Amino acid sequence: MKVLIVSHYFWPESFRINDMAAELVAQGCEVTVLTGQPNYPDGDIFPGYRALSIRRERHPAGFDVVRVPSHPRRRGNASNLARNYLASIVNMAVLGPYLLRGRRYDVVFVYATSPVLHALSAHVVATIQRAKLVTWVQDLWPESLEVTGFVRNPQVLGAVRRLVSWIYRRNDLLLAQSEAFARTIRAMAGDTPVKYYPNPGEAAFSAPPDRSQPPALTLKPGFNVVFAGNLGTVQSLDTVIDAAELLRNRPGLRFVLVGSGSRLEWLKEQVAARRLENVELPGRFPVTAMPALFEQASALMVSLVPSPIMDQTIPSKVQAYLAAGRPVIASLNGEGARVIEEAGAGIACRAGDAAALAQAVLDLADMPADRRQVLGDAARRFYDNHFEPAMLSRRLIGMFEELTRAAPLSAATRLKD
């Protein structure tokens, strides 16, 4: 099976698709990745790369990475972000077919983080290759534009919806990262089949922590509730801070918010203004440091703002938390809460409800240690059965093989309504 992965983000940037590409190779696939120059999350092109270069490199896992020129994201500038996306989409569509000349692929596989418009580039390549086109939808458009407030004009949102529907209908298969995503996508996809395919856990979290080195961060004694990841607008951090304030007088209980993001400075200001000695902001650490950190946590916390699109999302940290085998506190609605409850891995409470979050923390803190261990063990079992990377890669290859055994003409080369 020859697979071309099209992704806006890729190694050495830290995204799920990195491990997936390596796992596909381990399962016997020939893989090539078409991507840009790495510059996420800080916005600057990584050392050793150049923004306007064309580059070919060999990944240590045994596959080729073909890079087109990129416009760096930089920081705090919406126009630079737009140029970053546009340059990536255009350069992959225009330069991609030339750079991949002489190669043939069975499947073009799109890792469709926001925006899904990168599937346009893949559509061009798949049409020329006469390959099957599969898009793995990680974010819903135009819903994300609307919920973040980035676009409010109904006419613009309607135009985006029509474009996304057009893209969906040019695929041979659409994969959705949650069951709720699948239902929303089907309403726009015409006769293109849609299947649920969750984000697998990262390889770094599947293995036990490396005990040959001291942990990058050592937590203080007590009941430590750890949040790890992006500290942004959709993580409902005001709810977390309000819950911490409600629990400020509980001895030995603290919230450890690990990571960085657009609301980090706001968090620092709130912790200082409210004098919250039970909130710690240690900064960002590499993914490889997370297993040792999670192992020290009394509970792992995930939170999102309440909104229709967030309710359909399974945050990617959920898989990492389950793999860690620790109890999970989920301040979520919808799909994320469903996973935690179905796994029997912890306590879910209403998104955006600080009092409910504080009570969930108290319930876990007051729970006997052996009962918390039962929750953690259930979390790991659920991970192994539903999110283990090798298992999911075998399932993906099976879907690819089923597609290639079907009608020889791909959806990318067929005229669809």
pLDDT in tens, 199-258: 998 777 777 777 778 889 999 999 999 999 999 988 999 999 999 999 999 999 999 999
3-state helix, strand, coil split of the chain in percent (to 5) is: 45, 15, 40
Mean pLDDT, the chain, as a whole number?
92
Q: Both 42 and 172 in a single domain? A: yes
pLDDT tens-digit profile of 162-188?
Answer: 999 999 999 999 999 999 999 999 999
**Which is nearest to 200 in space by CA: 18, 28, 36, 346?**
18
More confident residue, 43 or 168: 168
The domain that contains 168 carries what CATH number?
Answer: 3.40.50.2000
pLDDT band at 114 (very low <50, low <70, confident <90, very high): confident
**Domain span holding position 71:** 2-200+388-413
Phi, psi of 244 (to 5 degrees): -60, -40
Q: Is the pLDDT of residue 53 over 70?
A: yes
Q: Both 212 and 328 in a single domain? A: yes
Q: Both 163 and 257 in a single domain? A: no
Q: Both 304 and 392 in a single domain? A: no
Residue count (the chain): 417
Cα dist from 93 to 70, 85, 159, whole Å: 13, 12, 21
Pick the most confident of 71-85, 135-149, 219-233.
219-233
**Pairwise CA distance, residues 396 & 308, whole Å:** 28
Q: Both 166 and 218 in a single domain? A: no
Which pLDDT score is estimated for 407? Answer: 65
Rounded to the nearest 10°, the torsion over CA 319, 323, 328, 330 is 0
Q: Both 159 and 174 in a single domain? A: yes
Number of domains in the chain: 2
